[in-house]
Each structure stands twice: as C-alpha cells, then as structure tokens.
C-alpha cells in the first residue's frame, strides 16, 4: 500500500523552508527516521517518517517552502500500522480513565465519611489516662503480633480518618528528639569493635598530628582538626563496612567527603599504605610535587580525590544531580544498574547554604534511592552554634521529611539506651526535646557535673534516674554519631531503603576528644595548633601507643604491616573492592565526527539569514546522525529550549523522565510535542541554573565516575551563566570536566529588548579566569563549526582536561563562505577575514568578534569608500585564547633575555601590516584590552561598558558606541591622534553621525 507523507502540525509556523532532504527514492526507512529538515527563522526540526517502508516518490526539493499538510513523499508501506502512536494514546486514555475512577471513588468515600466534628486544637492534658493506656497497649499488641508495617498501616488509617473528621492534628514534620531506629530494631555492627576502635584512634591521631606538624613549619599553612574529630566514626563505619570501591567488577560507590575533614582521609590512606609519612609531612605544601592538597581537589590530586566539596553547599547539590545522572545513564541503557550508592557528607552549618538544601525536593521527586546524605550535626559551625536557640537536627528533619526523604536520626549513643528504657513517664524524652543546641554544646564543653545539674537537675525524677551514676559516667553518655553500632544500624537501613533518598542526621561533638583545647568550644573550628599538654591529653584519650617523647615530637603512629589492625583494615577494604577515595578513568575515547558532517556550514548561506544559535542547533541535529556521538550527547537546558529553537529535540530524542509520561501532552499532535520518556536524552532541568550546571558537571566527569565518556552541552542565557553559577564552574574545572557550555543570547546589545539583567557584556571575562576553560566568541556559522568540531576532538577523542565556553547569538544575518585556510586562525583566536587594499595610503587593523564584527565589516566599507582608508579586518574568535598565548610567550622571552625574541601569534599576524588597531566587541573593553600588551601597535578598544537597557539593537549599539558609525568616527579620530590624518575628518564624522560629544560615558548612565 502506498502512503503519502505530509508535513505534520509544526506549531505556529507556516511556509517554512526545506533545508535538507535526508532520503532518496528507493531508500528503505524505518518509522521515525528523518525524511527532511525544516527550518523557520527560529529553529530547525526534522520530520520523521510515521511508518516503516520504501520511498517511492519525493515531492519536494531543498529550498521549497512547506506548511502543515504539504506532501513530502510517498512511501510503500512495509508494516501496517503506526503502532507507537496508537499505543501512547491507548495507554494514556486508559490511564486517564483510571485516575478519574480512582478520584471519584475517593470523593464518594470522603463525602460519606465526613462527620460533623469541627476542628479543635490538641489538648495537652490527659483527661482519661486509662483510655490513653488502652490505646497504647493496643498499638503495642499490633506491633508485637502483626509487625510494624501493620501498625503503621493502622495508624495511617486512623490519621486519615481524623483528617476526614476535621481534626487538627499535631505538627508531624518532626519526630521526638530520639533515634529513629529504636534499640530493639538496631542492627549491631559485625565488625571487631576492639580493632576498629584502635584503627579509629590512630587515624584521629595522625590526622591531628599532620595538621599540627604543618603549622610548626609555618602558621600560614592552617588546617582543621575539629571537623574530622567529630566525624571520625561516621567515616570509619562507612570505610569498614559499606563503601564499595570501583574495580573491574563494580562501578564503585561515590563518596562526597566533607571538605574540612580531608585530614582524616589522608590519615587513613597513610595506614592503608597509600600515602607515605613524607607525603603527610607535606600537607598543604603543594607547590613542589608530592604535597597533599588542603581539601579535596581532583585537579591537584587527580588519582585521589574525585569531588571538590570544600566550597560549602556545592557538594550536596552536585551529589543530588550526580545521583540523578547515574539513574539517567541506567535508564538510557548506557550503564548497568549495580545498586551503586552516592554518599554525601556535609556539616550542619553547611546546610545554611541555599545550595545544600535547594534541590532536596528534586531528589525525592526523582526517587533517588541511590543517594544517602550524612549530616554531621556537631551543633557548631565556624563562629559558634548552628542553632543556639533551636535544634538543627529537628529543623533538618522537618525540611527533609517535608521534601519526602527517608530520615534517620542518630542522636543518642548506646549508653543512653538503659536510661531511655527506664524513662516510663517520657520525662527524659521531654527534657531531650526542650534543651536547645546552645545548651547541648555547653554541656559537652563543661563536663559531667554540669550535665547532671543542668540537664537532669531540671526535674527531680531525672535527677533520681542518674543518682547512681558518677559524674564520669554521665560524661560518658555518648552521642549517636560517635557510636559505631548506632551508625552502622542507620547506614544499613539507608542501604536497604527503596523509593526515596535517605538522610542520616547524626549528632556529634565538634572537636571530639580534644579536651580543653578544642572540644565543643566556640573556637574549635579554627584550632590548628595543639600544645604539648593538649597532645598528651589527645593521646591518652584515645590510647594511642606513643611515648611522651614521641608525642612531643608529634610522630605519626602506624602499627607494623603484620599487626592485626593493619591486616584488619586492609582486609575490610579488600572485601569492599579496593581503596577509597581513588580516582581513575577507563573510558574509551569518542571518535570526533568526520569533517564533512559540518560541511554545510562552510558554505555561504546566501540571502538566508540565521543566528549562530540556530547554526549550533543544526550542528547538534547533524551530530545526532553520527552513531559514535549521538548516544553520548547530553543536551541540558534550564527551561529555555524554545528560546534557543531546540524544541525539535523533545520529540526526536525525548526528555528524560524517570517515570515516563503519564499524560497525553497538550501538543501531542505536533511535530515538536513535549515528549517525556524514561530513556529520554534531553535533560530539561526547569528553572535552575545551579541544577543544570550540576547535571553538566556530572555528565562532564562521567568519564571518570562512570568510565563512560559523555558530551554534555549546556545551553543557557549567557547572563545567567558564569555570573550566576561561577562557583560551580570552578568546581567543574577542578573536577576536570569535559564538555560544552554555550552562552546563548550573548553580548550586551544582541539581546535587545530584555534589558539590564539579561544583557551580558562580561561572561567572557569571567570564563577567561578559569585556567582550563577554552572560550570563543564566533560570528559566523563556519567559525562555530570549526570550533565545535575541534572541541569534540580535543576533549572527547584526545581526552584533554579542558572545557569549552562558546557564545552564540540570536541575531539573524547571512553567513559568508569560509575563506581558504583560516581553520588554524579560527582556533588560535584570530584570522584575516577581509582586506581593503585598493587605495593603500592609510591603513588600520580592525578587529571584532561576535555580532559586532559585522559592524566592523560595515565600518570598513564606509572607511574605504568614503574616506579612502584601507583596513585589514580580523575576526577575533577568542581574545581569551590570544591573551593566554601572549602571556606565555612574553614569559618565555623574559626568562630568556639572551635569545632572539619570540613572536606571539598576534605579532605574527600583524607584523607586515600597518596602522593602529581598533578592536570592537559586544563586551566590556577589558575583553579586547586583554591583548593590548601583546602588540606594539597603537591600540584602541570600543566596547559595551555600562548597564544594559532595553531598546532596539540599533539604538543600543549607538548608545554603547559600537555601531558602524561610531567605529568610523572613532577610527578617524584615532588616526588623527596617531598623526596619520588631520582631525577634520573625525570632527566632520561626529557631526555627520549626530554623535553627541556631551553625552556621558555609558558607565555613568
């Protein structure tokens, strides 16, 4: 049967051009294979075949304009129906029916159940203790006979009924201030506690000794003891029992270590034999090789650290998106699901950072049960208590529970268990609830007698409860985060949890074991020096087998290789697959696409106008036809796909959605309909630049964290790029990310109407500060194509640890053909685009980038035709790259004063060319000024310094003085200043172009 294929609904567009025909008569094609590419003035989109079959007739040619319903081709059908379409409709309509039925039945139930009880607040007084007792006994009986699950079910039913009856229930955001897992349900650690305790003591000691030693060398070096001291057990239990390393059989759990606890990780690696004493002695002395970095920095210790976490708040959110990206890779069939987990350690003070908690609802929504947060609640941050007047643990519980996380509180250690058991009236729990963190902190600083008086002393019953205990016994009442069994139990519950992320909120003591010098006192965080007495105390507190002499020399302690401790420690890690942290990569490179995949971009577009953003999107569409590259592309968009003309990607490769699509989209009939699918490739992030950047980092480091090279392309409004997420860009750089950042709608005057907060005139400056960021501001589509292909080659085929920032514009114009032999110049940062050499008396070197290069080109024409001034027009694709090379050559020349001066690339370009340089861009002058020192020619720059504002492009360019008229007038003036021309020409030009000399400099407007 012959079928006609016509243009489907393409949304608001009419009469769009066919720019490519992707099939020939006689081709056998599958359903969804693209037939043609259509391009409007905003975007390009492929039209897929609705059925499988053989093309018998083509009814269009390139350049034709088509609309909805236009006949494209005829196809001989090879399979009868368009199954996919049908299935979706069938599924979603059934689904809708189910939802409606469910809703109806619920409504009926609710209506019939509503009684005439009106809401009342909860009374604190027990008016019938006997009845209360009966209820509690019933509950206990259910727990005992039918188990906790049945008990929870009944309670939920009762609670639902209470809501239906209009009762106001108590606030359920938080649970009492006790451990979530009761002692009866606790899973005790199977480890040898004696040995583990010793290992922990040695790690504690060595971590502290390392910091103290460094500060003996120089007080400048700094370091932290108190953070790891409070978290040692939290790490140790993970290291001994839970965290599985990467090896040939398993992808490895990923652990985000709290930045300030780095000394503890070095100390453990020392016991494991992975770091030497010499290396520990070089903590924070990295300049000569072999030093240890202050905090986790993959850039500085690429075989050790995986995740940069020390800029607080970035670790938690990066880890959330890491967990999601892991699920993405699994759902897209690129990785096996091995049950890998992502563990994240953060401080309680760190949760103040908006980034720390900013994406926790996403983690729950995406059901990230591969994610475990451990918040170390030592109740202190740098200056003092985190919540002196409240309770950080309760506050966090409320936030995480509210967001839908599985919350496990580990507040009290085992020594409290008998007291809680003996607390028949609940008074102890009441007291635990009413004490605020400021008091809890003071109690750990002031000793057992103080706790007896201030904590238990409040109620006579509690005083009695501890009457047989000594002050020392009371002092020993430990916090949950220092109890290996409690921690083990919580971690193992976290590992088992399904369907939601878990947070372990552990209570600890900051500077645990540091005594007077730093335990639970406000200055703990800054403590980097311990005097002799402090060190002796620390040794005794943890029974570290060192003599007084050794302590005074601050020696490290490492038991013999065949000691039970070292054997145990190594055996545990062997069982868990290897050492952690360790960074490695076994990913295969991706072959760069053949040059011809971008061939179309090397030709002139003739009269056809397009933006560089459209050109880039077309390149991506072409890349999706390259079998090596297509599956590895990760397009990332924070709710701006339509702005950048990328909506064609929705249907073509799908939007990633872990639950698929449970609804029929409003635009399902359209070619670019909103298609969410479990195997979707596009990461449509919603309005979160931070989140999108974290996805980019996860994808850009997949080569090491998942051993699969991915190609993330994150497209954003350039103003909301580096400026908004600058710290993440540094973290991504530190993590050795490889991928593309595309600053779209870039340039101060290019995005005309959006005004001040949208108009970017400086992102390239920010990009230039990151050493491994390679950045370009191309004007023409062939430049974009050459740059983009080289990026793919360098990063993903050659595996260079760099990332690309490329600006793209939304201004439509026609693009010329690529001049001969300019590829090298495009990549180095400048090439000769055009020369005017007909007159030959006065000459200038005109440089421009981005859309403003076009103003320079137009100005050159005026200068030539009206003033007889010749120009060499340089397209400067990257002032940033030129500057880098300029600096390097200058340094080499300075280092070698006896050698012949080496020329930098700019000098090589300009050496045989006359006249001053006029550089003009859509960015602040500092952007082009970067190359001023690297040429000895007179240099004038024009740029867009000042606040943006909304107006037409023409008016904006006039305002910022970067339009062709200003370029002409300022050039004439510069020539006058260089005494190459009289000043009359300039004065006349100012008049001719109505340039108001009295107008204030734009930075003052």
Determine the 3-state secondary structure of 112 from DSSP.
helix
Kindly report the number of other CB atoms within 10 A of residue 883's CB atom.
Answer: 22
Which of the choices Mg ion, ligand TPP, none does residue 762 contact, using the CB cut-off of 5 to 8 A by kind?
none
Distance in Å, CB of 255 to ligand TPP, minimum: 16
Distance in Å, CB of 387 to ligand TPP, minimum: 11
Does position 761 interact with ligand TPP (CB under 6 A)? The reply is no
Residue least distant from Mg ion (Cβ) = 347
Distance in Å, CB of 480 to ligand TPP, minimum: 15
**Cβ burial 447-465 (10 Å sphere, 16+ → b, else e):** ebebbbeebbeeeeebeeb
> Could you tell me how far CA 889 lies from the centroid of its own chain?
35
Does position 444 interact with ligand TPP (CB under 6 A)? The reply is no
Among the listed residues 510, 632, 675, 966, the single contact to ligand TPP using CB under 6 A: 510
In 376-447, alpha helices (H):
392-403, 417-422, 427-434, 437-446
Among the listed residues 347, 511, 513, 635, the single contact to ligand TPP using CB under 6 A: 347
- State which residue, 348 or 870, has the beta carbon closest to Mg ion: 348
Residues 519-548 that bind ligand TPP (CB under 6 A): 525
Does position 381 interact with ligand TPP (CB under 6 A)? The reply is yes
- State which residue, 349 or 645, has the beta carbon closest to Mg ion: 349
Among the listed residues 174, 378, 672, 681, the single contact to ligand TPP using CB under 6 A: 378
- State which residue, 260 or 932, has the beta carbon closest to ligand TPP: 260
Confirm if 602 and 25 have CB atoms less than 8 A apart: no
Distance in Å, CB of 362 to ligand TPP, minimum: 21
Which of the choices Mg ion, ligand TPP, none does residue 311 contact, using the CB cut-off of 5 to 8 A by kind?
ligand TPP
* Contact stretch for Mg ion (CB under 5 A) within 349-357, 402-410, 494-502, 954-962: 349-357
Largest CA distance in the chain: 109
> Could you tell me how far CA 971 lies from the centroid of its own chain?
45
Contacts of 627 (CB under 8 A, 6+ apart): none
> Could you tell me how far CA 831 lies from the centroid of its own chain?
35
Distance in Å, CB of 478 to ligand TPP, minimum: 18
Give the per-residue contact string, 226-255, with ligand TPP (x = CB under 6 A; - = no).
-x--x-------------------------
d(CA 575, CA 583): 19
Which of the choices Mg ion, ligand TPP, none does residue 350 contact, using the CB cut-off of 5 to 8 A by kind?
ligand TPP
Among the listed residues 349, 680, 712, 943, the single contact to Mg ion using CB under 5 A: 349
Does position 945 interact with Mg ion (CB under 5 A)? The reply is no
The DSSP 8-state label assigned to residue 240 in this structure reads I
Kindly report the number of other CB atoms within 10 A of residue 381's CB atom.
Answer: 20
- State which residue, 475 or 512, has the beta carbon closest to ligand TPP: 512
d(CA 135, CA 139): 6
Confirm if 43 and 614 have CB atoms less than 8 A apart: yes
Does position 441 interact with Mg ion (CB under 5 A)? The reply is no
The dihedral through the CA atoms of 688, 734, 922, 792 has a sign that is negative
Which of the choices Mg ion, ligand TPP, none does residue 916 contact, using the CB cut-off of 5 to 8 A by kind?
none
Does position 348 interact with Mg ion (CB under 5 A)? The reply is yes
Does position 489 interact with Mg ion (CB under 5 A)? The reply is no
Does position 807 interact with Mg ion (CB under 5 A)? The reply is no
- The residue among 882, 866, 886 whose CA lies nearest residue 874 is 882
**Cβ burial 920-957 (10 Å sphere, 16+ → b, else e):** bbbbbbbbbebbbebbebbbbbbbbbbebbeeebeebb
Residues 192-231 that bind Mg ion (CB under 5 A): none
Does position 734 interact with ligand TPP (CB under 6 A)? The reply is no
The DSSP 8-state label assigned to residue 118 in this structure reads P
Does position 949 interact with ligand TPP (CB under 6 A)? The reply is no
Distance in Å, CB of 736 to ligand TPP, minimum: 21
Q: How buried is 334 (Cβ within 10 angstroms: 0-12 exposed, 13-18 middle, 19+ buried)?
A: middle
Does position 294 interact with ligand TPP (CB under 6 A)? The reply is no
* Contact stretch for ligand TPP (CB under 6 A) within 24-32, 362-370, 374-382, 395-403: 374-382
The DSSP 8-state label assigned to residue 610 in this structure reads B
Determine the 3-state secondary structure of 755 from DSSP.
coil
635 beta partners:
713
Determine the 3-state secondary structure of 65 from DSSP.
strand
Kindly report the number of other CB atoms within 10 A of residue 492's CB atom.
Answer: 17
Determine the 3-state secondary structure of 938 from DSSP.
coil
- State which residue, 211 or 546, has the beta carbon closest to Mg ion: 211
Does position 42 interact with ligand TPP (CB under 6 A)? The reply is no
- Alpha-carbon distance values, 268 to 27, 223, 243, 263 (Å): 63, 17, 14, 9
Distance in Å, CB of 455 to ligand TPP, minimum: 22
Angle between helices 722-734 and 314-331 (to 10 degrees): 70
* Contact stretch for ligand TPP (CB under 6 A) within 380-388, 422-430, 628-636, 982-990: 380-388
Ramachandran angles phi, psi of 499, nearest 5°: 90, -5
- State which residue, 52 or 378, has the beta carbon closest to Mg ion: 378
Does position 376 interact with ligand TPP (CB under 6 A)? The reply is yes
If binding means CB under 6 A, how many residues of this protein chain bind ligand TPP?
19
d(CA 849, CA 844): 16
- Alpha-carbon distance values, 948 to 197, 941, 966, 968 (Å): 62, 19, 18, 23
Give the per-residue contact string, 379-418, with Mg ion (x = CB under 5 A; - = no).
-x--------------------------------------
Does position 366 interact with ligand TPP (CB under 6 A)? The reply is no
Contacts of 575 (CB under 8 A, 6+ apart): none
Distance in Å, CB of 382 to ligand TPP, minimum: 4
Which of the choices ligand TPP, Mg ion, none does residue 648 contact, using the CB cut-off of 5 to 8 A by kind?
none
Distance in Å, CB of 380 to Mg ion, minimum: 5
- State which residue, 352 or 417, has the beta carbon closest to Mg ion: 352
* Contact stretch for ligand TPP (CB under 6 A) within 178-186, 304-312, 427-435, 470-478: 304-312
d(CA 405, CA 397): 9
Q: How buried is 221 (Cβ within 10 angstroms: 0-12 exposed, 13-18 middle, 19+ buried)?
A: middle
Pairing outcome for strands 803-807 and 842-848 = unpaired
The HSE-up count of residue 64 (CA atoms within 13 Å, CB side) is: 15
Does position 378 interact with Mg ion (CB under 5 A)? The reply is yes
- State which residue, 353 or 684, has the beta carbon closest to ligand TPP: 353
Determine the 3-state secondary structure of 806 from DSSP.
strand
Does position 311 interact with ligand TPP (CB under 6 A)? The reply is yes
Distance in Å, CB of 529 to Mg ion, minimum: 20
Among the listed residues 240, 322, 370, 380, the single contact to ligand TPP using CB under 6 A: 380
Distance in Å, CB of 412 to Mg ion, minimum: 18
Cis peptide before 581 (omega within 30 of 0): yes
d(CA 930, CA 590): 34
Residue least distant from ligand TPP (Cβ) = 347
Distance in Å, CB of 531 to Mg ion, minimum: 24
Among the listed residues 347, 448, 829, 886, the single contact to Mg ion using CB under 5 A: 347
* Contact stretch for ligand TPP (CB under 6 A) within 305-313, 480-488, 621-629, 704-712: 305-313
Which of the choices ligand TPP, Mg ion, none does residue 764 contact, using the CB cut-off of 5 to 8 A by kind?
none
For binding to ligand TPP (CB under 6 A), which residues are involved?
227, 230, 260, 310-313, 347-350, 376, 378, 380-382, 386, 510, 525
For binding to Mg ion (CB under 5 A), which residues are involved?
347-349, 378, 380
């Amino acid at each position: 049967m012959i079928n006609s294929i016509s243009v489907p609904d393409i949304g608001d567009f009419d009469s769009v051009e066919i720019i490519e025909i992707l099939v020939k008569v006689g081709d056998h094609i599958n359903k969804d294979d693209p037939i043609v590419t259509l391009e409007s003035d905003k975007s390009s989109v492929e039209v897929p075949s609705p059925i499988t079959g053989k093309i018998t007739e083509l009814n269009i040619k390139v350049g034709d304009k088509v609309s909805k319903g236009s006949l494209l081709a005829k196809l001989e059908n090879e399979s009868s129906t368009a199954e996919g379409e049908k299935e979706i409709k069938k599924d979603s309509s059934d689904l809708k029916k189910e939802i409606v039925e469910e809703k109806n039945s619920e409504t009926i139930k609710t209506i019939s159940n509503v009684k005439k009880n009106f809401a009342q607040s909860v009374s604190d007084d027990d008016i019938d203790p006997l009845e209360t007792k009966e209820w509690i006994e019933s509950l206990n009986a259910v727990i005992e006979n039918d188990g906790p699950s049945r008990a929870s079910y009944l309670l939920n039913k009762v609670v639902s009924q209470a809501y239906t009856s209009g009762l106001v229930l108590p606030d359920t955001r938080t649970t009492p201030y006790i451990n979530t897992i009761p002692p009866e349900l606790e899973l005790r650690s199977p480890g040898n506690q004696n040995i583990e305790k010793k290992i922990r003591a040695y790690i504690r000691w060595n971590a502290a000794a390392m910091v103290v030693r460094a500060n003996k060398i120089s007080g400048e070096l700094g370091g932290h003891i108190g953070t790891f001291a409070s978290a040692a057990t939290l790490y140790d239990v993970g290291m001994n029992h839970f965290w599985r390393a990467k090896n040939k059989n398993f992808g490895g759990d990923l652990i985000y270590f709290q930045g300030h606890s780095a000394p503890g990780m070095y100390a453990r690696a020392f016991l494991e034999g992975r770091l030497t004493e010499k290396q520990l002695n070089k903590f924070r002395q990295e300049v000569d090789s072999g030093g240890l970095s202050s905090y986790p920095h993959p850039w500085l210790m690429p075989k050790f650290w995986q995740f940069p976490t020390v800029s607080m708040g970035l670790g938690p959110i990066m880890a959330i998106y890491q967990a999601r990206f892991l699920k993405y890779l699994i759902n897209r069939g690129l990785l096996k699901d091995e049950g890998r987990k992502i563990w994240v350690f953060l401080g309680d003070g760190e949760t103040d950072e908006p980034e720390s908690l900013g994406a926790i609802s996403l983690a729950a929504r995406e059901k990230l049960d591969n994610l475990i947060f451990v918040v170390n609640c030592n109740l202190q941050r740098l200056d003092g208590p985190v919540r002196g007047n409240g309770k950080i643990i309760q506050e966090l519980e409320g936030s995480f529970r509210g967001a839908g996380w599985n919350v496990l509180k580990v507040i009290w250690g085992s020594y409290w268990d008998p007291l809680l058991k003996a607390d028949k009236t609940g008074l102890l729990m009441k007291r635990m609830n009413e004490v605020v963190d400021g008091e809890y902190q003071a109690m750990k600083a002031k000793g057992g007698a103080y706790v007896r008086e201030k904590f238990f002393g409040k109620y006579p019953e509690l005083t009695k409860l501890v009457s047989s205990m000594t002050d020392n016994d009371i002092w020993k009442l430990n916090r949950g985060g220092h109890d290996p069994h409690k921690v083990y139990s919580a971690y193992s519950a976290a590992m088992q949890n399904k369907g939601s992320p878990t947070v372990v909120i552990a209570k600890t003591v900051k500077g645990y074991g540091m005594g007077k010098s730093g335990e639970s006192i406000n200055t703990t965080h800054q403590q980097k020096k311990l005097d002799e007495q402090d060190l002796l105390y620390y040794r005794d507190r943890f029974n570290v087998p060192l003599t007084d002499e050794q302590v005074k020399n601050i020696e490290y302690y490492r038991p013999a290789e065949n000691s039970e401790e070292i054997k145990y420690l190594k055996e545990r890690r062997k069982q868990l697959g290897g050492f952690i942290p360790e960074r490695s990569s076994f990913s295969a490179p991706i072959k760069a696409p053949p040059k011809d995949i971008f061939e179309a971009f090397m030709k002139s577009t003739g009269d056809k106008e397009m933006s560089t953003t459209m050109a880039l999107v077309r390149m991506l569409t072409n890349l999706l036809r390259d079998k090596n590259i297509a599956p590895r592309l990760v397009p990332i968009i924070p709710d701006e796909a339509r702005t950048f003309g990328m909506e064609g990607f929705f249907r073509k490769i799908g939007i990633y959605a872990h639950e698929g699509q449970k609804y029929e989209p409003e635009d399902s009939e359209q070619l670019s309909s909103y298609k969410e699918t479990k195997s979707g490739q596009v990461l449509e992030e919603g309005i979160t630049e931070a989140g999108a950047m974290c996805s980019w980092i996860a994808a850009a480091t997949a080569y090491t964290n998942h051993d699969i090279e991915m190609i993330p392309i994150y497209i954003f409004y350039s103003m909301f790029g580096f400026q908004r997420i600058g710290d993440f860009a540094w973290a991504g750089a530190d993590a050795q990310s490889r991928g593309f950042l595309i600053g779209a709608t870039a340039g101060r005057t290019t995005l005309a109407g959006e005004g001040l907060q949208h108009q970017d005139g400086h992102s390239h400056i920010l990009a230039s500060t990151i050493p491994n960021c390679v950045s370009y501001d191309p004007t023409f589509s062939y430049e974009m194509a050459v740059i983009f292909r080289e990026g793919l080659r360098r990063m993903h085929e050659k595996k260079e640890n760099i990332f690309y920032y490329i600006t793209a514009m939304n201004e439509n114009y026609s693009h010329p053909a690529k001049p001969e032999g300019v590829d090298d110049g495009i990549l180095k940062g400048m090439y000769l685009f055009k020369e005017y050499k007909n007159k030959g008396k006065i000459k200038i070197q005109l440089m421009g980038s981005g859309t403003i290069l076009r103003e320079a080109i137009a100005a050159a024409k005026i200068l030539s035709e009206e003033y007889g001034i010749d120009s060499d027009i340089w397209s400067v694709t990257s002032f940033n790259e030129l500057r880098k090379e300029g600096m390097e050559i200058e340094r080499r020349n300075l280092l070698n004063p006896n050698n012949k001066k080496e020329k930098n690339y700019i000098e090589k370009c300009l050496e045989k060319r006359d006249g001053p340089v006029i550089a003009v861009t859509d960015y602040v002058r500092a952007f082009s000024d970067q190359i001023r020192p690297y040429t000895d020619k007179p240099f004038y720059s024009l740029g867009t310094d000042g606040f943006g504002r909304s107006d037409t492009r023409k008016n904006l360019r006039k305002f910022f003085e970067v339009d062709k008229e200003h370029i002409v007038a300022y050039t004439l003036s510069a020539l006058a200043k260089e005494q190459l021309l009289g000043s009359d020409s300039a004065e006349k030009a100012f008049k001719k172009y109505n340039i108001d000399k009295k107008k204030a400099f734009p930075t003052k407007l």
